[in-house]
Every structure is written in structure tokens, then in C-alpha cells.
A and B are shown apart, each in its own frame.
Chain A
Amino acid sequence: KQEVTQIPAALSVPEGENLVLNCSFTDSAIYNLQWFRQDPGKGLTSLLLIQSSQREQTSGRLNASLDKSSGRSTLYIAASQPGDSATYLCAVQEDDKIIFGKGTRLHILP
């Protein structure tokens, strides 16, 4: 059974710092991996999607990596801003369903 774990559960960093969010999954037979952002009381915003054959994706200040063999992914945020404060969810897709982690609550201190 696929399990997705995100560490840390919560993180507070000063504005301007670079940071890394971690995600691990137990079964490497995945179709893709996505990182989502979720603001309080809102839906999901897809940030980056990495297909199983890819190793990383970049969008602006965000970079996500995927190592299927070790069951790990990282989301790197450069030069963090207060507007980056949100919950970040890691999710892996297997065939017909997506399995999510519980998320990392990120707070950027002005």
C-alpha cells in the first residue's frame, strides 16, 4: 500500500531564505508526482508535476526533484517571500488514483 510522508509537518523561516521541503513514498511504481500549494480554506494549486521518467521540474523560484529508486522528492523554494506562506502537499499518482501526504505548513516570517 502506497504511503506518502512529508517532513517537516510545519516550518517557519525568515523571508529571503532558501528552503527545502521533503516527501517520501513507499512504492516506486508511480505514474507521476505533483507538488500542490493550498491556502487556508482554499482548493489545490498545482505547482510542479514530474512524470515518472523525469528527474526534476522548475518553475520560477521553485524546483522539484524526483528520485524514484529511493522513493524521495524535494521541493526547493528560493528566496522565500511572505506570499509563499501556505500548506504544500506532495502527491503521487498510481494508475487511477492519487495518494497525498499530509502536507507541510510553511510560514515565511517578514
Chain B
Amino acid sequence: DAGVTQSPTHLIKTRGQQVTLRCSPKSGHDTVSWYQQALGQGPQFIFQYYEEEERQRGNFPDRFSGHQFPNYSSELNVNALLLGDSALYLCASSLTGTQYFGPGTRLLVL
């Protein structure tokens, strides 16, 4: 049984560009949450998707948007990248309750 997978593993972008990160949930899971972990900090909740809708959102600007597909996979999009968006982006999936994390995508913005 495959766990949560994320792609790509690493990514380098320049300021002002746009980026899309992808997440495939654990088999049977229908809910996907995204987190941002800046260097030296704990991960922070960005938003959660369920039934292709954003269900809850953390304190992140509208430059951060997402999507969930009918197969429950999800994308995180960040527009107009800033240097401060450099971080590890973690995806977590769940069915009812406990969230399981993927390995993350490390984004570097130059």
C-alpha cells in the first residue's frame, strides 16, 4: 500500500514565478492538507481539501491556492513567488481523523 507521495522532491524557482506542487494521498483517503515548513520552524497549516473544495484555510495569502481532483489527488499553486516562500511543503492525507504525511517538496526561490 503506497503511502502519501509528493512531486517533485526539489524545485528551484525565481522571484515572481509560479509553481505547482502535487500530492497523491494514501489509498482510501479522501482529504488532503497542505503545510509549509520554513527553515528552523514547525510546519504551518496552509489549507485542506475535501470533496474537491477548500474546507479550511490557515493564515496564508491568496497567492496560495489549491485544487483537489476527483481521484482525491491535490495540487498546491503559489503565484508571484517571494524569497520567503522558500520552504519544505508537506502534504498530508486522511480519511477520518489522523493525518499521514508525505516526504515533502523542497522549494527554493532565488
Contacts and interface: CB of A to CB of B under 8 A. Distances in A.
Interface of A: 4, 31-32, 36, 41-44, 46, 49, 89, 91, 93, 95-103
Q: On chain B, which size bracket covers the interface?
A: 20 to 34
Given A44-B90, A89-B42, A98 B99 contact: yes
Helix, strand, loop or mixed for chain B's interface?
strand
B95 to A, nearest CB: 13
Given A97-B45, A98-B45, 14 more contacts: A32-B98, A43-B102, A43-B104, A44-B104, A49-B98, A89-B42, A89-B43, A93-B98, A93-B99, A95-B56, A97-B48, A98-B92, A98-B99, A100-B42
A95 B102 CA distance: 19
Contact of B41 (A31, A36, A43, A102): A102
Interface of B: 31, 33, 35, 40-45, 48, 55-56, 58, 88, 90, 92, 97-104, 106
